[in-house]
Amino acid sequence: MKKIFFTLFVAMMAMTATAQSVTVYEKATPVGFNVSDIDSIIFSAEKANNPTYQTLDGKRIVDAHWLSLGTSITWYNDNVSSAFTKGYQTRVLERLAFKQFTNKGVNAGVLSSAKGQVIKADYYTIEHGVNDWGHSTPVGTIDDYINNTQNGTFAANYRELIDAIYKANPKAMIILCTPRKSYGFGTYLPAHWYDQFNGIYLKDYADIIKEIAAYESLPVADWFSLCGNQTNLAKLSIDQALHPNDDGYQLMANVLLQAFEQALIH
């Protein structure tokens, strides 16, 4: 008598039987056995191989290049100060070990400055909005993005950036990050994250980013909603209240890791 071992792939295997035989369909290929020759059939469930990454010692090894675009909040990862130990990217890389990582954050950068930082990569993250708020960049509408109006609005600049990324790599996976809530920093921003500043709310930038992500079917790391509020933001920042401290960066990394999980299954 023999034992028959099969790996069961979801939605890819079926089995039929008669009084004298058993036929197993694995990946649509029939395999027949005489009942008298079989002692037992053992199935094991196994996920299909993902060519993008593997796991080693609890860390996911990602055979890909990640490029991060953003403001000083992103730039600081490679320019650590005495006020914190590491940025959100290093914290993500401790869990997702990308083969290559490039930080193209620009200190004091706005979204329109990001297009010139694009190089070929596999995964891109975009962290922008807070400096555009500080500079009162008009938010624009989803139609500005869809129609590529090039009218200098945040939405139109986002379209130019996305186009630049897809020009560098048509197969790129892009994660959009909403701006972290911020306020103060001298007179650069208003006294509360929910205040208007020259007629614009920070939430307006977060909302248009989500609209663009929905239109393009892209993952979102929603730092605006999940990484601090008026009550605790100062305690999550090295200043009041723009740049994160270690706790603030860890919150951002946790949210971005969830977005990467979504991106890595595609």
Specify whether 57 is located in the same domain as 175.
yes
The pLDDT assigned to 57 comes to 72
Specify whether 21 is located in the same domain as 141.
no
Q: DSSP string covering 59-90, please?
A: EEEEEEEEEEEESHHHHGGGS--TT-S--HHH
Q: In this structure, is the dihedral angle defined by the CA atoms of residues 212, 217, 218 and 224, taken in order, positive or negative?
A: positive
Q: What's the CA gap between 104 and 242, in Å, rounded?
A: 19
Specify whether 81 is located in the same domain as 207.
yes
For the record, the structure tokens of 247 come out as: 């706790």
Could you tell me the residue range of the domain that residue 37 belongs to?
Answer: 2-45
Specify whether 37 is located in the same domain as 65.
no
What's the CATH code of the domain at 58? 3.40.50.1110
Specify whether 143 is located in the same domain as 60.
yes
The pLDDT assigned to 21 comes to 60
User: What distances in angstroms separate CA 167 from CA 4, 123, 150, one per listed residue?
Assistant: 50, 14, 17
Specify whether 132 is located in the same domain as 243.
yes
Average of pLDDT values for 76-86? 96
The pLDDT assigned to 59 comes to 83
Specify whether 62 is located in the same domain as 21.
no
Average of pLDDT values for 161-169? 98
The pLDDT assigned to 31 comes to 59
Residues 99-138: tens digit of each pLDDT:
999 999 999 999 999 999 999 999 999 999 999 999 999 9
Mean pLDDT of the chain: 87
The pLDDT assigned to 53 comes to 58
Specify whether 88 is located in the same domain as 153.
yes
Grade residue 254 by pLDDT with cuts at 50, 70 and 90.
very high
Specify whether 6 is located in the same domain as 125.
no
The candidate with the shortest Cα–Cα distance to 139, out of 223, 149, 183, is 149
Specify whether 70 is located in the same domain as 11.
no
Residue 203 has pLDDT above 50, yes or no: yes
Residue 2 has pLDDT above 50, yes or no: no
Phi, psi of 209 (to 5 degrees): -60, -45
Between residues 118 and 13, which one has the greater pLDDT? 118
Structural domain count of the chain: 2
pTM: 0.80
3-class state of residue 23 by DSSP: strand
Residue 41 has pLDDT above 60, yes or no: no
Amino acid at 8: L
Specify whether 58 is located in the same domain as 25.
no
B/e letters for 60-91, b = 16+ CB within 10 Å, e = fewer, are bebebbbbbbbbbbbbbbeeeeeebebbbbbb
Specify whether 61 is located in the same domain as 41.
no
